[in-house]
């Protein structure tokens, strides 16, 4: 089994932090496979929000890791509570949060415009 190498570094204020290297454990996808992965992640986020839009929109029941339950059809709330791992999906969530912070509306429209 390969061991992860670590390096101790210090930030500009002198606080120590550890940088772990785990390249052996990670697989990097490139080319067409990477593009497909990005498209699927964007569609998954958009489809989650799309079903809560319009006059026939459905509410979402969101359960946090500590068991708190939230029921909403508000796109900003859904995006705020999402815990995503994919980089493109994270960018979409951050874009939605920025839209909400700067404008206060349109968070669902920013993300929900991805076409299947």
Beta-strand ranges (E) seen in the chain are 5-10, 16-21, 60-63, 69-72
Task: Identify the pLDDT of residue 1.
Answer: 43
For the record, the structure tokens of 3 come out as 């061991």
Q: How does residue 24 score in pLDDT terms, banded at 50, 70 and 90? A: low
Task: Identify the pLDDT of residue 115.
Answer: 56
- Mean predicted confidence (pLDDT) in 82-111: 78
> What are φ and ψ of residue 37, in 5° steps?
-60, -40
Among residues 50, 55, 66, 65, the alpha carbon closest in space to that of 114 is found at 50
The structural domains of the chain, with segments of one domain joined by +, span 28-113
How many Å apart are CA 107 and CA 13, to the nearest integer? 36
How many Å apart are CA 110 and CA 35, to the nearest integer? 20
For 59-83, the pLDDT digits (tens) are 888 888 888 888 888 877 887 787 7
Task: Identify the pLDDT of residue 56.
Answer: 81
């Amino acid at each position: 089994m390969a061991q992860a190498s670590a390096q101790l570094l210090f930030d500009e204020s002198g606080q120590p932090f550890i940088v772990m290297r785990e390249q052996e454990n990670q697989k990097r996808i490139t080319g067409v496979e990477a593009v497909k992965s990005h498209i699927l992640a964007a569609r998954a986020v958009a489809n989650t929000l799309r079903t809560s839009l319009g006059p026939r929109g459905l509410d979402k029941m969101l359960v946090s890791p500590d068991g708190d339950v939230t029921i909403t059809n508000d796109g900003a709330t859904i995006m705020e509570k999402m815990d995503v791992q994919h980089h493109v999906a994270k960018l979409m969530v951050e874009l939605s949060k920025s839209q909400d912070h700067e404008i206060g509306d349109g968070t669902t429209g920013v993300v929900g415009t991805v076409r299947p």
